[in-house]
Every structure is written in structure tokens, then in C-alpha cells.
Chains A and B, each alone.
Chain A
Amino acid sequence: MTSKLILSMNGVVLQEFGLDKEHMTIGRKPHNEIIIDNLAVSGEHAAIVTILNDSFLEDLDSTNGTLVNGTSIKKHFLQSNDVIEIGKYKLKYLNDQKNQSTAADFEKTMVFRASSRIASATPVKADLSEMTGKLKSTEQPQLSTTEKVPELRQTEAVIPSQPAFVTSAEKVVTDSATASDGETVSLPALATSAEKVPDSGQAMGVIQILTGPNAGKELELVKNLTTVGKSGFQVVVFTHRPHGYFVTYVEGASYPNLNGKPMDDQPCQLKEHDIIELAGIKMEFYFKS
């Protein structure tokens, strides 16, 4: 058993209940596993369903309702340290099952044989709402500055160019990642592994265009990935990683230059004042504090 509820009132602990059964009920009447003998509590007030290491709380249409962390709920997937409120009573949920980030042993894959099997399930359709942040390519004959694409937060498109390119209508290449680095991935377990989360105190990397019609323009590398260049001609990607910024060749017949030397397939970590030369356009990397 890895989880329990601690019943308290006005800060005084009254009792502890281990969640050792798959189905347990909380209520005023004596047949409940967790009995709270108070008139504000319904006969059968709420139920807790525990499946291995996960527990779910459900309000059983109680008269006075059930709160979790101050919010009224009907059903709730309990997370360790959640506080359930029923009348004046509080039940703190504790689950000491190790998070996977701290105990590699717990994440060994195991076969769960007891479970009923799903016969020939059909493929799942991805949530279409996830697709709204689609990539946009810009088609501007003249060199543009920075453009905001409405459906993407902070999406930027920077098109370095020179006169030879201006004739081409499909100078593309934008960046865009829908999540910025600060939030990386919303895995709760990750929040604890501090050394892996990008350091938010890290100075932001910026690319400044030095030559060509866009000279002087700046591009802040706020996303995990920012591609720059002309699709099919020469493209590099700037990646923002926990330990710094990197530039990597993506495509093109020739490799771009970094500080006057041609790059290869490998990512290069960027240092202050590195000069990248891409399709004849020079740009400088620096940190903005």
C-alpha cells in the first residue's frame, strides 16, 4: 500500500486511513470504510477507487458536496498532498510511491496480466484541437521583419534575404514551437528533476542580422527550435537546450559558415559574438541579459 488519507479537523489529526481496498466509501453511516460522524456529512458522501498506485475520488451526490484544494468536484484524480474537504473535515491524500524521476527501479516496464484485453482496437485519432497551432509559411516578396502569426503564441518569422532572393516568392522559413522552453514538457515528474529543467535564469540568446536588407533586425531565440534560411536552399536550426544554444545545419547544397569556417552535420554550441553566415547573410549570436 502506498497511499493514505489523513483525517483532521481544525488542524488536529483524528485518524489515518490506508487506501488498501479498490473501492472505499466515505460517509456518516457505519458501513463506510471511512466514517465521519457529523451531520454535515451525507450517509454515503464520496467514494475512492484505487487502481494500483492511482486513486480517484468521486462525490456520491452528497448534500453538501466535496471540495479538493478548495474547488468543488464531482470526480477527481487524486495527486499526493491534495486536500479533500467534507464539511469542516479535511482529508489529506498522501501517495509515497516514488516519482519515476527519482527511482529508476519503479519504472521498469511490467506486463500487467490481470487486465482484460482489448480485442483489435481501432487506431486512435489524435485530438484535432492540438492541430490548431499549425506551421505557417510566409510568402512575402519583400523582406519582412518580424511577423506575428495570430494563432501561435509568439511566433516569429524572420527571412534573411538578399537581392538575388527577392524574386522568389517562397522565401520561407520560420520557427515556431507551440511551447516555449520555460515550460518544456508538462510532465509533473519533471518538476522535481531540477537539473533537467532549463535554467530560466539563463540569458536569452539573440540573433542579430548584420548584413543585407534586414541588417539590424533581431530574432530572440525563445523557442526550443528556430529555423532560419530559405527552404530548399540553405537552412539552419537554432536549438535552445538546458545547457545553451546550438546551431545545426538542416539543408542546402553547401554548409553555412560559423566564424568563417564551414559547419558540418554536427550541432555547434554558440558563444557570445559567434558569426553565422547563411546564404550570404551574416548574423551574430549574443546573449541578452
Chain B
Amino acid sequence: MDIEQALEIVSQTHPGVVRSHNEDSVAYDASCGLVVLADGMGGHNAGEIASGITVSLIPTDMRHSLESMRPEDRGDGGEDVGVVLLREKIQKANATIYHKSQSQSQYTGMGTTVVAGLFYDNRLAVAHVGDSRMYRLRGEIFEPITRDHSLLQEQIDRGMLSKEDARLSKNRNLITRAVGVDPEVEAEIHVHSVQVGDIYLLCSDGLNDMVVDDQIRTTLQMLRANLKLVAGRLIEMANDNGGRDNVSVILIKINGEFAAPRGWLAKMLSWFKN
């Protein structure tokens, strides 16, 4: 199945009920199987600029790269092509934002989180920096497939804090990695196999800080027939619970397989298409 038909994608973003402007940005391009969500930070409108650069630069650059690459391509050291591409694009966004923040004083210190997914050949490469998340609903199991780069997550990992206690912490919103604040950034990237029926959710912390995972899961399961309604309902829930932050979601439902064509004939045909 063509990837554009295999993936059903919706997105929605909202400033929340407390903040005057929205520093989150979302973008997707079904034709190249790419989804990107970024949660910016920095004074004035610098946060929007940082997240905006990220969600415009990554898809533009990705489309360009995919024209000359194939899913079975490998990077140096045999790395998966999705890993290589996502790392490259995030580094490029990082350099662009960092340069802007260094050269224009009103943008000093701006940065952004990012979570990006690239679907290709029945696989999904997920890259993230900071505390924006990707979750997966597969059958009855709903779980995060990214782990926050945050002080709280580090404390949880060290056994200092339980997941339940983390909700009581006053040290929220402290992230340990961000795009655009240093000359270099290390994105965490993993490749997952994708199954038909999976639903993936990308969200900014405005959702998972306001709505517990279990309620997100229930909403996804009950309303899965209508992805747009799920997106609207998740944002509604975050806002009904206080909406203290901007809240953004991207939902992807896998409606079919999207294996890359294999064999010499398929390659010839795709070569002629280009």
C-alpha cells in the first residue's frame, strides 16, 4: 500500500487556557511518512520561532533527501536510514536555531523540544530531544515509546522518585536536552516495527502533564474510529483540567502495510518514476 494511504494522520494545537500565545508547532507530510512536533521556549516570541523553524526545516529537508534514498540504504556503520536522516535534520535545525539566537539578541537562549517520526518500509524511526513524547497504542497496550530528557525522568531512572511522586514534584519543566541551545545536540533515536492497527500519538507536555496516561488511552480506544475527534477530545481534556500549557497532538493510525517494493523489477519501476 502507498504510504499516504497506509497512514491516517491528524494534528491539532491549542494555546491552552492560561497562556496568551502558542509556542508549540506541529507539521506532517503523509507522502513521505513524516510527523514533527516541537515545543519552543524563550522570551517574547522566541519559543515560537524555535519550534517553527524545527517543524518547517525538517520536512522540507526530509523530502529533499528522500528523493535520492531508499529504505534499505544504510548509513555509515550500517545504521538504519531513518536514524541517519532524522539525526541529520535535527542537527540542522539545531544549528539554524543556535545561529539565530547567537546573532539576534531578542532570540538569545531560545530553544525547543522535538519529537519526530519517520514511517517507511513498515518501520518507524522516532527521534526526540526534551520532554515531548511519542506514545503507541497497540491492541490493549498504551505506552510511551520515548523517554523524556528531563530532570524528573533522570530522578525516576535513578530510583529517587516514583512515577506517582513525579506528579507531585515542583521541579517540572526542567529538560536536560533541547534543540538550539548549544552548538551541538544529541537526539535520541530508535527504530520500531509498525503493525497495522497501531495508533501513534505525539504530544507536547501540555497534554501529558494535564491528563493521566490512562485517560489518554481510554479516549484513544473508545474513539479510535474518528481520529480527528480523538485529537479534539484530548485537547479538550487538557484544557478542562486547567490547560496550563500549550497543548499539541499528532495522531497516526496505521491502516495498511507500507513495505518498500523489493526486487529488481520494483527498483526499475521506481527508478523510471523518478
- A→B interface (CB under 8 Å): 51-54, 56, 77, 79, 95, 97, 99-101, 104, 107-113, 115-118, 120-127, 130-131, 133-135, 175-179, 184-190, 193, 196, 198, 224-225, 227, 231-232, 235, 237, 239, 241-242, 248-251, 265
Contacts and interface: CB of A to CB of B under 8 A. Distances in A.
A117 B147 contact: no
19 contacts: A51-B155, A54-B171, A56-B160, A77-B169, A95-B170, A104-B18, A109-B131, A112-B151, A112-B175, A118-B147, A118-B176, A135-B218, A178-B215, A179-B212, A185-B212, A187-B210, A189-B244, A237-B223, A237-B229
A131 B167 CA distance: 19
A60 B71 CA distance: 57
B214 A179 contact: yes
B140 A115 contact: no
Contacts of B154: 115-116, 118
Contacts of B157: 118, 121
Given A124-B143, A185-B211, A250-B229, A196 B241 contact: yes
Contact of A186 (B170, B212, B226): B212
Interface residues of B, number: 70
B141 interface: yes
Contacts of B188: 120-121
Nearest to A196: B242
B222 A111 contact: no
A104 B141 contact: no
Interface stretch (B60-68, B100-108, B232-240): B232-240
B14 interface: no
Nearest to A266: B232
B173 A187 contact: no
A97 B240 CA distance: 24
B165 interface: yes
